[in-house]
Amino acid sequence: MTQAPEVWNSAYDNDTAPWIIGGPQPAIVELERAGHIRGRVLDPGAGAGEHTIALTALGYDVLGVDLSPSAVAYARRNAAAKNVPGARFEVADMVALARSGDNPLGTFDTIVDSALFHVFLADAAARADYVRTLHRLCVPGGHLHVLALSNAEEGFGPRIGAEMIRDSFTAPGWAIEDLRSDRYYGRITETIAEQAGDLTPDAAGRVEAAAWLARIRRIG
């Protein structure tokens, strides 16, 4: 079972989300600098909205979606506080969309998944549905970027092996163009205090963990 919206809501309502670091993930910032973001952009599982906000501020046409109404409310407040009123957020369940005849979101040239794919670590059916939704929402030839926590090191959160990415994004629908080690930054809250107890926060209060960064093209 994947987690219900109420579970995610509580992380935002009680400010216990360990992934909220007050800005975008450095790996996503670097992706943009390297020229890998183009056209209409989707930020699925947008959370606090940092990637949608940062990319909108740079002039991209971005939509952030999240299963959790509290996340969307948080992201909208965050965008207002950062003075990026053009940042757009909607509530949408990327798993349920696979089973629905409708596609209210449209299609996208670039999809930037930061820490959503790994959420489906223990739920193969939800993971397969999520990948089906991604395929439907990504234009042929478009790109999906996945930043996911890695099990290569001890850390926090749901950590996956590279083979889960390789197995999920195979031909004929997808081609993995790049799959490399990177870092994901979080903060220690009560949610991960036990798991991350040995990590020392940096000057900005962030802790870092091993991650995968995959660049995947929709080919069919």
Ligand X SMILES: C[S@@+](CC[C@H](N)C(=O)[O-])C[C@H]1O[C@@H](n2cnc3c(N)ncnc32)[C@H](O)[C@@H]1O
Among positions 21-50, residues that touch ligand X (CB under 6 A) are 25, 44-48
CB neighbours of residue 148 within 10 Å:
28
Residue 150 sits in the site that holds ligand X (CB under 6 A):
no
Give the HSE-up count for residue 71: Cα atoms under 13 Å, Cβ half-sphere.
29
Residue 93 sits in the site that holds ligand X (CB under 6 A):
yes
* Least distance between ligand X and beta carbon 171 (Å): 25
- Angle, alpha carbons 184-169-123 (nearest 5°): 70
* 108-114: strand order across its sheet: 88-91, 61-66, 40-44, 108-114, 138-149, 207-218, 174-186
In the list 115, 134, 214, 216, the residue contacting ligand X (rule: CB under 6 A) is: 115
Residue 94 sits in the site that holds ligand X (CB under 6 A):
yes
Alpha carbon 202 to chain centroid, angstroms: 23
- Tokens linked to 16: 């216990």
Residue 56 sits in the site that holds ligand X (CB under 6 A):
no
Residue 192 sits in the site that holds ligand X (CB under 6 A):
no
In the list 19, 108, 169, 174, the residue contacting ligand X (rule: CB under 6 A) is: 19
- Angle, alpha carbons 76-119-150 (nearest 5°): 115
Q: Which stretch binds ligand X (CB under 6 A): 34-42, 110-118, 138-146, 165-173?
A: 110-118
Rule CB under 6 A: which residues touch ligand X? 2, 8, 19, 25, 44-48, 66-68, 71, 93-95, 114-116, 119
